[in-house]
Amino acid sequence: MNEATKEVIFDGKLVELIYKIIDSKTEAVLTSVEYPIGYIHGVTEAFAPQVTAALTGKAVGDFIDAPIDCNKLYGPRDESLVFTDNIENVPEEYREVGMNILMENDQGQTKSFLVTRVDEKSVTIDGNNPLCGREVIFKLEILTVRDATEEEIEVGGPVNADPDISEIVGTNQRVEPINKF
């Protein structure tokens, strides 16, 4: 497909991409998504508005850097959302860094907390968004742009999207879907 016939991203297009989130100050990679994520542009709120705006009008093969001030997106860090407790008071299944815990207050409101530290005596959880207080850059690579089907628009992304695992298992291997029963 030549440059003149490339489909560009606008509302109603199915977009598949990979991305990294880089801390602007340290240049550390905070998140790396290497398996394509699919969404319907203008329908699915998959990314921050600044990222969505940066993707509009782009095409397959484009690389985009979208800077985000996460203080504007999530607000400043709130240290009152960080708790450390004695490890004996924490159920064993929650004693792993990276574990996401959904908690509920007396009014029935829920909030997600992330286990950020575990040692032999204590567990620390944090209710702040992990990007809170940071300035980051979303580095995106667009892999697919096409008209979304009605079903994809309804569900907000690709339907029956199976990964190509031939690089993992080899091209001479037979792979059966596990949901055939």
My answer on whether 88 and 31 are in the same domain is no
- Look at residue 171 and tell me whether its pLDDT is greater than 90: no
For residues 58 and 162, the model is more confident at: 58
Give percent of the chain above pLDDT 70.
86
Only one residue has tokens 């100050």, namely 25
Q: What is the pLDDT of residue 163?
A: 56
Q: Is residue 181 part of a domain?
A: no
Tell me, yes or no, whether 88 lies in a domain.
yes
Q: What is the pTM of this model?
A: 0.70
Query: Looking at the predicted structure, is the pLDDT value of residue 148 above 90?
Result: yes
In this structure, the answer to whether residues 115 and 101 fall within a common structural domain is yes
- Taking phi first (over 0 means left), then psi (-120 to 50 degrees means alpha), and beta for anything else, what does residue 37 get? beta
**What does the pLDDT read at residue 3?**
53
Amino acid (one-letter) located at 125:
I
Q: Assess whether 47 and 115 both reside in one domain.
A: no
Same domain for 90 and 52:
no
Q: Is residue 162 part of a domain?
A: no
Query: Which residue has better confidence, 138 or 169?
Result: 138
Q: Could you tell me the pLDDT band of residue 59, with boundaries at 50, 70 and 90?
A: very high
Asked if residue 60 and residue 143 are part of one domain, the reply reads yes
Residue 139 sits in the same domain as residue 118: no
Instruction: List the CATH number of the domain containing 121.
Output: 2.40.10.330
pLDDT in tens, 90-131: 999 999 999 999 989 899 999 999 999 999 999 999 999 988
Q: Are residues 54 and 142 in the same domain?
A: yes
Q: Report if residue 179 sits inside a domain.
A: no
Rg (CA), the chain: 20
Give the domain extent around 31.
3-73+132-152
Each residue of 33-58: pLDDT tens digit? 989 999 999 998 889 899 999 999 99
How many folded domains does the chain comprise? 2
Q: Are residues 121 and 148 in the same domain?
A: no
Does residue 93 form part of some domain? Answer: yes
Looking at residue 82, its pLDDT comes to: 96
CATH number assigned to the domain comprising residue 142: 3.10.50.40
Q: Is residue 122 part of a domain?
A: yes
- Residue 35 in any domain: the answer is yes
Kindly state the tokens that stand for 110: 């829920």
d(CA 66, CA 46): 14
Question: Do 64 and 86 reside in the same domain of the chain?
Answer: no
CA distance linking residue 124 with residue 146, whole number of Å: 44
